């Protein structure tokens, strides 16, 4: 006779007892196994199934056969941050120095004239020759351009001329070749008129003499 109180569950399994169970010793009841849950060789039911990997007990992972044991890898030693920072600081200092030099070259003080002088051979030129008149312009060593002209005592004035002064050079030499011909004596004077970066003048006198 069936028991109407039996639960309607897929896990429920009824066991039929034979008549020899009435007088015989008690035995362990038959166990119903479900074959839809994986088990290991010992019959233990795993806690959960993860693919083909069975886990038994809290936090214990069953290692499949042939799987090598994990090898701990030592972490890489930390980089020396101090050396890297020193390298970066040195590069920054060099870059700042280069930029400062370039800025000083472009935005530094302008070309300035500190002195102007003119000279020539005091004996004067020989017959039918030229006098070499030399002007020496002293500067502050900054790059720039000198604009000037020569003015002669015979009433001749040259067109404005230019002389480029490079950085670091503190002197500029300007030449005037004044040619004389014929016999006689002629007192002469040559003047340098500096137009820019500042207006200055300097002159020198000499005598041309030819008696031959």
Q: Any residues with CB less than 8 A from the CB of 121 and at least 6 apart, and which?
A: 131, 132, 206
Helix H or strand E encompassing 10: none
Which of 138, 135, 140, 122 has the alpha carbon at shortest distance from 193?
135
What pTM does this model have?
0.51
Q: What is the C-alpha separation between 136 and 172, in angstroms, rounded?
A: 6
Q: Exposed, middle or buried: residue 41 (CB in 10 Å: 0-12, 13-18, 19+)?
A: exposed
Between CA 135 and CA 142 the distance in angstroms is 19
How far apart CA 6 and CA 50 sit, in angstroms, is 34
Residue 180 main-chain phi, psi, to 5 deg: -125, 150
pLDDT digits (tens, 9 = 90+) for 36-65: 445 544 555 555 555 555 455 555 555 555
Cα–Cα distances in angstroms (integers) from residue 118 to residues 93, 125, 127, 156, 180, in the given order: 46, 16, 23, 17, 19
* pLDDT of the chain, 212 residues: tens digit per residue: 545 444 454 544 444 444 444 445 555 554 544 444 455 445 555 555 555 554 555 555 555 555 555 555 566 666 666 677 777 788 888 888 887 766 665 666 899 999 999 999 999 999 999 999 999 999 999 999 999 999 999 999 999 999 999 999 999 999 999 999 999 999 999 999 999 999 999 999 999 999 87
């Amino acid at each position: 006779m069936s028991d109407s109180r039996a639960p309607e569950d897929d896990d429920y399994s009824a066991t039929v007892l034979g008549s020899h169970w009435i007088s015989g010793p008690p035995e362990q009841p038959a166990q119903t196994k479900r074959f839809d849950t994986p088990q290991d060789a010992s019959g233990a039911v795993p806690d959960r199934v993860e693919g083909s990997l069975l886990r038994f007990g809290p936090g214990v992972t069953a290692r499949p056969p042939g799987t090598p044991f994990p090898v701990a890898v030592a972490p890489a030693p930390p980089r020396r941050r101090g050396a890297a920072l020193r390298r970066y600081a040195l590069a920054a200092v060099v870059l700042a120095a280069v930029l400062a030099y370039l800025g000083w070259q472009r935005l530094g003080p302008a070309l300035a004239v500190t002195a102007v002088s003119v000279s020539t051979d005091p004996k004067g030129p020989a017959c039918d020759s030229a006098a070499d008149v030399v002007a020496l312009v002293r500067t502050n060593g900054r790059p720039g351009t000198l604009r000037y002209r020569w003015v002669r005592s015979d009433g001749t004035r040259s067109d404005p001329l230019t002389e480029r002064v490079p950085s670091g050079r503190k002197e500029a030499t300007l030449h005037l070749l004044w040619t004389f011909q014929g016999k006689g004596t002629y007192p002469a004077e040559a003047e340098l008129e500096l137009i820019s970066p500042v207006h200055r003048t300097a002159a020198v006198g000499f005598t041309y003499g030819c008696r031959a």
